[in-house]
Amino acid sequence: MPLYTKLPTTIDEVDIIIAGGGTAGCIVASRLSDADPSLSVLLIERGSNNYELPNITKPAFMFTHVIPGSKTTTFHKGSKEEQLTDREVIVPSGKILGGGSSVNFLMYTRAQRSDFDSWQTPGWSADDMLPYLKKLETYHGSGPKDRHGYEGPVHVSGGTYRVPRSEDDFIAAAKGVGWTELEDAQDLDSNNGVQRAMRYISPDGQRQDVAHTYLHPRLRDGKHPNLHVVVESQVVRILFEKQKATGVEYVSDPDADLQPSPTQVQDSVRRIRARKLVIASCGTFGTPTLLERSGIGNREILNRAGVSDVVAHIPGVGEAYNDHHLMVYSYRSSLAPEETMDALAGGRLDPGELMKNNDKILGWNAMDITCKLRPSEADVASLGPNFQEAWDRDFKTNTNKPLVLMSLINTFPSLPIGLPVGQYLAVSAFSIYPYSRGRLHITGTALSDPINFVTGFFSDPQGIDIKKCVWAYKKQREIVRRMENYRGEVPATHPPFPAESKAACIEIGEPIGPTVVDIEYTPEDDMIIEHWLRENVATAWHSLGTCKMAPLDKMGVVDANLNVHGVKNLKVIDLSIPPLDVAANTNNTAMAIGEKGADICIDELALA
C-alpha cells in the first residue's frame, strides 16, 4: 500500500489504530500486518516520511538532526529549575517516521540483565526479553552466539569506517586507569570495561532505522494490502464509549499553523474508528499528553487543563519522567584529518561529493568505543557518606550494574564555531539509574497549549546524581590524558578551573607519556565541577517512564500486558512504559518493547 499524507476518505474504520510511528510503533504495525493480512492496521505519524532521505540513511549526517531549525526533531523545553541554575533544559525527540531510530546517534547498546529483572513484572525478565532482543537483529559482531540474533531485520555491525589507531589508543589508556577491553559488553552480563563499538549500521553503511527495516518493505511488497500509514498527522485524542476505546481523532499537518481558523480546524480534523484496539505509541513525551487530552490521568491535573470528561483517574500518567544525565567533554588531538569527522562538520568536505563517490566515511557515526564502568571502592569513599550508603545499598553486591556509560567520539560534537581548524576528539559520559525524577503534563486541551515539563535533573535530595557526574568527569579525563593522541582540553567544554589549579585546562604539543599521574582536585575544584555540571548537564535523549508498567496503586499506568488501567481496548507500547531505567542507549530497549508488545497483541487477538 502507498504511504499517505492525506488518508483517503474511504478509510474511516480499521481493526487497529497505532498512534505514533516511532521506534516501537513501526515494529508493532509491521508484525501485526504479518500476522494476518486481512487485519486492517492504521499507523498515524506526526512527522514526515523518511524514505531514502540521505540525512536519515547516511549515518555521517546524524548531527543535522540536532541543529536549530531541524524538521526531524521536536525540542521539548523544560521549566526553569533552581537546582540547574534556573536553566530551561531542552530535550529532543524524533519527529519523523521511525522516530528516534531515524535520528539517533546509532549506538548499539543493550540493557543489563538486572535492568529487565528489576522491573519485577511477569513476562518482562531478562530471560523473557532475550528472544525479542535476538529476533530484531542480524548481528555481525563477536560475543556469545546464544545472546545474539542472526536473522532479524536490523543489521548491527561496525559499519564501513573505523579508526583503529584511535580505538587502540583509548583502550590502552583505559587499561592504564584500570578498565580492560570487553569482547561483548552487550551480552546482558558483561560489565565494567570498554568495547569497540557496534552500531545500527549495515555492513554497506546504511542506518538501520525501523521504518526502513520493518515498515517500508511491507508497504512496498504488495503483500500487506491492509497496512495503512499516514504521515504529517497527529492524534489529538482517543475516543471512548464509556470505558472502551473506539477510535481516534487526528489532525492533518499539525505544524502548518498553530492557530488555524475554525474553518481550517474543521477541515483538517478526522475521526477514525478502531474495531479491535487502539495503541498509543507516541513516546515518553507524546503518549502521556495524548492520554491526558483523552481524559486519562490525574483528575486534578485534567480539570485544571480544561478536560471536562475524565475517563479514568490514573495519577501516574506523566509522572516519573526518567532520563540519563549527559555531559560531553572535548579535547584537542593529533589525529589525522581522515581519522575524525571534523572536516565534514567544518565544511571542508563536500557532502555531495561524498554521496557521489559513496565514500565509506558516510557509514560512520564517529563513535568507535563504548564503555560500561563502575568505580573502585576508593572512588566510592571519596564521594562522601551519602554516596557510599547509596552504593552499598544499590550497586555494591550487584556487579551487573554499571554507574556510568561513556563513548569515544572522533570529532568535535557540535558546531565548531570559533574553534581553530584541526582534529578533535570527545568523550560523552552519562550517568544511569538516576534517583531524580521529573514530570510532564498538559496545560490545555489543544495541541498548541504548552506542556508543563520538569526534567528533575539533579533534584534527588541526597545529591547522589551529581556525584556520579563528578566521578565521570574525573575518570574520563584521566583516560584521555593517557592517550597518545591527547593534546589538551577544549576549555569551553570543561569546568573553568583557575590557572593556578592542578586541574586547569592545558594545551600541549606532545603526549604526556608514561609519567602521567592523576590530577589532584581540591575541595574548591570539586565545587567548580558541581556548579559547572548544574549549568551544563543535558539530556542523553534517553527519556522514559512517564506511563510506567506497574499496579495502579504504585503509580502505574499499564499492566504487564500493556493495557491501560481502568479502560478497555487501549494499550501503550513505547519507551514510556519501563518502570525503571536501563544501562544502555535506549533504542534497543524501545525495539524490544515493540517486538514484545506486538506478540502480546497477536496472542490476545488470536492472530498467531
**Any domain includes 455:** no
Q: Are the beta carbons of 48 and 230 closer than 8 angstroms?
A: no
* pLDDT over 70, % of the chain: 98
Q: Look at residue 193 and give its three-state secondary structure.
A: strand
599 with 468, same domain: the answer is no
The H or E element containing residue 394 is helix 385-394
CATH number for the domain spanning 252: value is 3.50.50.60
pLDDT at position 256 is 52
Which DSSP category does 96 fall into?
Answer: B
Helix pair 587-604, 126-135: axis angle to 10 deg: 100
332 with 363, same domain: the answer is yes
418 with 473, same domain: the answer is yes
User: Pick from 492, 512, 536: which residue ends a domain?
Assistant: 536
pLDDT at position 69 is 85
**Any domain includes 439:** no
CA distance 238 to 289: 11
CA distance 179 to 172: 9
* pLDDT over 90, % of the chain: 92
Give CA torsion, residues 437, 443, 449, 452, to 10 deg. Answer: -20
As given in the structure block, the three cell numbers for residue 157 are 555491525
Q: Look at residue 321 and give its three-state secondary structure.
A: strand
Q: Are the beta carbons of 537 and 87 closer than 8 angstroms?
A: no
* 404 closest CA partner among 331, 351, 465: 465
424 with 468, same domain: the answer is yes
236 with 368, same domain: the answer is no
Q: Look at residue 192 and give its three-state secondary structure.
A: coil
Taking residues 285-300, report their average pLDDT.
98
The predicted-structure confidence for 92-101, as pLDDT tens digits, reads as follows: 999 999 999 9
365 with 425, same domain: the answer is yes
Q: Are the beta carbons of 211 and 24 closer than 8 angstroms?
A: no
- For 481, residues 6+ apart whose C-beta sits below 8 A from its C-beta are 173, 512, 516, 519
Q: What are phi and psi of 3, to 5 degrees?
A: -100, 135
Q: Are the beta carbons of 593 and 575 closer than 8 angstroms?
A: yes
Dihedral-angle region of residue 69 (phi above 0 means left; psi in -120 to 50 means alpha; beta otherwise): left
* Residue 84 Cα distances to 153, 174, 314, 536, angstroms: 41, 31, 30, 8
As given in the structure block, the three cell numbers for residue 42 are 492504521
Q: Rounded to two decimals, what is the model's pTM?
A: 0.96
pLDDT confidence tier of residue 54, bands split at 50, 70 and 90: very high
pLDDT at position 414 is 82
The predicted-structure confidence for 530-574, as pLDDT tens digits, reads as follows: 999 999 999 999 999 999 999 999 999 999 999 999 999 999 999
The predicted-structure confidence for 122-176, as pLDDT tens digits, reads as follows: 999 999 999 999 999 999 999 999 999 999 999 999 999 999 999 999 999 999 9
Q: Are the beta carbons of 458 and 537 closer than 8 angstroms?
A: yes
pLDDT at position 315 is 98
Q: 3-4 and 227-230: which strand pairing? A: parallel
pLDDT confidence tier of residue 253, bands split at 50, 70 and 90: confident
375 with 388, same domain: the answer is yes
Is the pLDDT reported for residue 84 higher than 80?
A: yes
Is the pLDDT reported for residue 258 higher than 50?
A: no
Catalytically active residues, by annotation: 542
- For 51, residues 6+ apart whose C-beta sits below 8 A from its C-beta are 3, 97, 211, 212, 216
The predicted-structure confidence for 187-222, as pLDDT tens digits, reads as follows: 999 999 999 999 999 999 999 999 999 999 999 999
Which DSSP category does 518 fall into?
Answer: P
As given in the structure block, the three cell numbers for residue 230 are 499516514
DSSP E strands, 35-192: 41-44, 73-81, 87-94, 137-139, 154-156, 180-181
185 with 249, same domain: the answer is no
The predicted-structure confidence for 451-462, as pLDDT tens digits, reads as follows: 999 999 999 999
pLDDT confidence tier of residue 267, bands split at 50, 70 and 90: low
Over the range 564-588, which residues count as b (16 or more CB within 10 Å of their CB) and which as e? bbebebbbbbbbbbbbbbbbbbbbb
Q: Are the beta carbons of 487 and 169 closer than 8 angstroms?
A: no
pLDDT at position 608 is 63
Q: Please give the residue range of the domain that contains residue 340.
A: 155-206+325-431+461-536
The predicted-structure confidence for 423-450, as pLDDT tens digits, reads as follows: 999 999 999 999 999 999 999 999 999 9
CATH number for the domain spanning 410: value is 3.30.560.10
- For 362, residues 6+ apart whose C-beta sits below 8 A from its C-beta are 58, 59, 60, 61, 160, 205, 354, 355
How many residues appear in the chain? 608
As given in the structure block, the three cell numbers for residue 369 are 568505543
The predicted-structure confidence for 501-515, as pLDDT tens digits, reads as follows: 999 999 999 988 778
As given in the structure block, the three cell numbers for residue 83 are 537546582
User: Pick from 494, 516, 536: which residue ends a domain?
Assistant: 536
**Any domain includes 62:** no
How many structural domains comprise the chain?
2
pLDDT at position 320 is 97
* 77 closest CA partner among 529, 438, 589, 531: 438
356 with 491, same domain: the answer is yes
Dihedral-angle region of residue 441 (phi above 0 means left; psi in -120 to 50 means alpha; beta otherwise): beta
Average pLDDT, the chain: 95
pLDDT at position 398 is 98
217 with 312, same domain: the answer is yes
